Structure 1
Amino acid sequence: MSQQLKINGKTVTVDVDPGTPLLWVVRDELKLTGTKFGCGIAACGACTVHVDGAPQRSCQMYVEDVAGAEITTIEGINGPVAEAVQSAWAELDVVQCGYCQSGQIMSAVGLLSGESRPDDEAITAYMQGNACRCATYHRIRAAIHRASDILEA
């Protein structure tokens, strides 16, 4: 079945079965491999993309449910908040293995897009659906604070 999607500002047509998770469309059909498969049950956050500006788990979203929505992957994230988050991530050397980081960044951008000065409690609450097997949570939290500082400057 043919579906039209708007991904990273471009309209694309994909031919996939109904019920195909958005994750597999993004990775397998569109070859945007920054979005990762982690658990398949929306519990780890590795597959996070933005749908109409809000972080969502793409492994549990069906392609037909996002037709007409604006979908942004890690490859297409941009703007001041995204730039501040990416800069802070690099400055504070957040990444260890890196597998979860695209989902972490997408969630951090979502958080800072809605709350410019989150405290530790707000960061923990917002980011709790993002698992990091390397346990870089303290560096992730510090980078979110740093990105907030960058945005405020």
Structure 2
Amino acid sequence: MIRFVLNGRETALDLDPDMPLLWALRDHAGLTGTKFGCGIAQCGACTVHLDGMPIRACVTPLAAVEGAAITTIEGVEGPVAEAVRAAWTELDVVQCGYCQSGQLMAAIALLTENPRPGAAEIEAAMEGHICRCGTYQRIKAAIGDAAARLG
């Protein structure tokens, strides 16, 4: 039994400890907002927060989250999340949308840690997050807009 906090709720899953967190979230917790992209931590579609830090759920074994707090796109909230969502909407970032939960989770983690990132810091935080539609400029602009919203 693996026990952890999932989106603010105590959770216990009786699953193989080696199962990737992604599949525990999607197939057993019913949280399908976190997407499968590559399975090798290269695309960022599966990004969730582990104790507030972004991780790739596709390569994180369930055992690694024992006693931790996991936040998925369904559970992220607060002023930073609201600022990021508002900027994403206003700047019309989303095209196909498949990568966006991972992009949002990475942006929220960045702005939570550093509410005033420069262009280089935004670039570094978003490195490895692949958008097959190529909305990178809108993503970066939305992160800057969200930072401005946070004042």
- TM-score, length-normalised on structure 2? 0.98
Looking at structure 2, the residues matched to 53 and 117 of structure 1 have their Cα atoms a distance apart, in angstroms, of: 18
Looking at structure 2, the residues matched to 103 and 143 of structure 1 have their Cα atoms a distance apart, in angstroms, of: 14
Q: 1:21-58: per-residue Cα shift (whole Å, max 9, x none)?
A: 00000000001000000000000000000000001001
Secondary structure, counterpart of 1:43 in structure 2: coil
Secondary structure, counterpart of 1:107 in structure 2: helix
Looking at structure 2, the residues matched to 34 and 18 of structure 1 have their Cα atoms a distance apart, in angstroms, of: 22
Which amino acid in structure 2 is aligned with residue 139 of structure 1?
Answer: R
Within a 5 Å distance, the mapping from 1:1-153 to structure 2 comes to: 2-152=1-151
Secondary structure, counterpart of 2:150 in structure 1: helix
Shift of 1:120: 1.5
Deviation above 2 Å: which 4+ runs of structure 1? none
Secondary structure, counterpart of 2:58 in structure 1: helix
How much is the aligned-residue C-alpha RMSD, in angstroms?
A: 0.7
Gaps of 5+ in 1: none
Residues 2 and 17, structure 2, Cα contact 8 Å, conserved in 1? no
Which amino acid in structure 2 is aligned with residue 34 of structure 1?
Answer: G
Secondary structure, counterpart of 2:148 in structure 1: helix
> What percentage of aligned pairs have identical amino acids?
58
- TM-score, length-normalised on structure 1? 0.96
Q: 1:66-121: per-residue Cα shift (whole Å, max 9, x none)?
A: 11001000000001101100110011110000000000000000111111111211
- Give the paired residue count: 151
Which amino acid in structure 2 is aligned with residue 20 of structure 1?
Answer: M
Shift of 1:4: 1.6
More moved, 35-44 vs 113-122: 113-122
Looking at structure 2, the residues matched to 29 and 137 of structure 1 have their Cα atoms a distance apart, in angstroms, of: 32
Secondary structure, counterpart of 1:124 in structure 2: helix
Looking at structure 1, the residues matched to 64 and 117 of structure 2 have their Cα atoms a distance apart, in angstroms, of: 31
Looking at structure 2, the residues matched to 83 and 34 of structure 1 have their Cα atoms a distance apart, in angstroms, of: 17
